[in-house]
């Protein structure tokens, strides 16, 4: 399959509360380093002709403005948690200026959450100006969004199925703490892997930083970036200085070229 050159931008790299966290006086939340300011986790994937995002966070409007996104073809959802779907209403701006519906891809449980949360989008008699979307099931096998090939990867967030996505040589996985053997094979061969790395201490449904490092090593991916980071992990500068070669903390606004 042909893979067009892609630009990947980290729209947000924080956990559900964001960083800084409301009312917190810890070193990370009070840090003056912009890399310690983390909106909720999402990425922007762009080819020459196609633009998609993975998840619409509560910060979606600002993320689009900050990255100067003027066209959106599709949204790929990972799972139905609020910090990953809450911004869907702001898709309507793209409808207005692009004069087209936005394709939305989601698994069954995420579609149910979208229908509950944004019931007015799916009403029989629609109010003018609401988001205009075309809702699709996520196929098991690879599919195309415009000219961008997408390979879904099933992971587990404790007992909840969460979809990761591979775009050519780049794989993005958030909110996971387990990947089955068959799905790991879909990641093998990636040049860049993004994994959630919430904190150092064991968590019930997220990889720790060490678990994320170990997973990247196991899969033999040369470059890994860690996202969905909480203030409990430590400052960007401090943690970055401890990481092995080829292992990095992502940060908001980081852009990668996938050729």
Question: Domain residue spans in the chain?
Answer: 6-258
> What DSSP character marks residue 19?
B
Task: Tell me what pLDDT residue 2 has.
Answer: 75
pLDDT > 80? residue 37:
yes
User: Over the stretch 101-132, which tens digit does the pLDDT of each residue have?
Assistant: 999 999 999 999 999 999 999 999 888 899 99
CA diameter of the chain:
56
Residue 212 CA to residue 13 CA, distance in Å, equals: 15
> Which residue do the tokens 């196991």 mark?
218
* Radius of gyration from C-alpha coordinates of the chain: 18
Residue 20 CA to residue 37 CA, distance in Å, equals: 6
Q: Which helix (H) or strand (E) holds 44?
A: strand 42-46
pLDDT > 90? residue 41:
yes
Model confidence at 69, in pLDDT bands (50, 70, 90)? very high
φ/ψ of residue 190, rounded to 5: -65, 145
| Backbone angle region of 55, left / alpha / beta, with phi > 0 → left and psi within -120 to 50 → alpha | left
φ/ψ of residue 232, rounded to 5: -75, -15
Q: What is the pLDDT averaged over residues 212-221?
A: 98
Return the closest-CA partner of residue 15 out of 141, 113, 157, 152: 157
Are 199 and 117 in contact by the 8 Å Cβ rule? The answer is: no
Q: Which residues pair with 195 in a beta bridge?
A: 226
Q: Which residues pair with 19 in a beta bridge?
A: 38
Token pair recorded at residue 248:
């990095």
pLDDT > 90? residue 95:
yes
Percentage helix, strand, coil for the chain under 3-state DSSP, each rounded to 5 = 25, 30, 45
User: Over the stretch 234-245, which tens digit does the pLDDT of each residue have?
Assistant: 999 999 999 999
What is the CATH architecture of 6-258? 4-Layer Sandwich (3.60)
Number of other CB atoms surrounding residue 7 within 10 Å = 14
User: What average pLDDT does the structure give for the chain?
Assistant: 97
Cis peptide preceding 248, ω within 30 of 0: no
Token pair recorded at residue 30:
């009070």
Q: CA 241, 243, 244: angle at the middle one, nearest 5?
A: 125
């Amino acid at each position: 399959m042909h893979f067009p050159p892609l630009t990947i931008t980290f729209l947000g790299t924080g956990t559900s509360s964001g960083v800084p966290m409301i009312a917190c006086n810890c070193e990370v939340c009070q840090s003056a380093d912009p890399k310690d300011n983390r909106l909720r986790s999402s990425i922007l994937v762009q080819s020459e002709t196609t633009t998609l995002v993975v998840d619409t966070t509560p910060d979606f409007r600002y993320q689009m403005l900050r990255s100067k996104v003027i066209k959106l073809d599709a949204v790929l959802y990972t799972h139905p948690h609020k910090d990953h779907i809450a911004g869907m209403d702001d898709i309507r701006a793209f409808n207005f200026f692009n004069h087209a519906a936005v394709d939305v891809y989601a698994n069954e449980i995420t579609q149910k959450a979208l229908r509950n949360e944004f019931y007015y989008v799916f009403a029989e008699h629609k109010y003018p100006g609401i988001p205009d979307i075309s809702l699709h099931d996520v196929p098991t096998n690879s599919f195309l969004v415009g000219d961008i090939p997408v390979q879904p990867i099933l992971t587990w967030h404790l007992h909840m199925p969460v979809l990761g996505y591979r775009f050519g040589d780049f794989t993005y996985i958030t909110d996971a703490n387990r990947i089955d053997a068959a799905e790991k094979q879909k990641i093998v061969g990636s040049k860049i892997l993004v994994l959630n790395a919430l904190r150092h201490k064991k968590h019930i449904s997220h990889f720790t930083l060490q678990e994320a490092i170990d997973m990247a090593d196991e899969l033999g991916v040369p470059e890994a970036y860690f996202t969905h980071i909480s203030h409990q992990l430590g400052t960007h500068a401090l943690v970055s200085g401890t990481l092995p070669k080829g292992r990095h903390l992502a940060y908001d606004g980081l852009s990668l070229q996938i050729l």
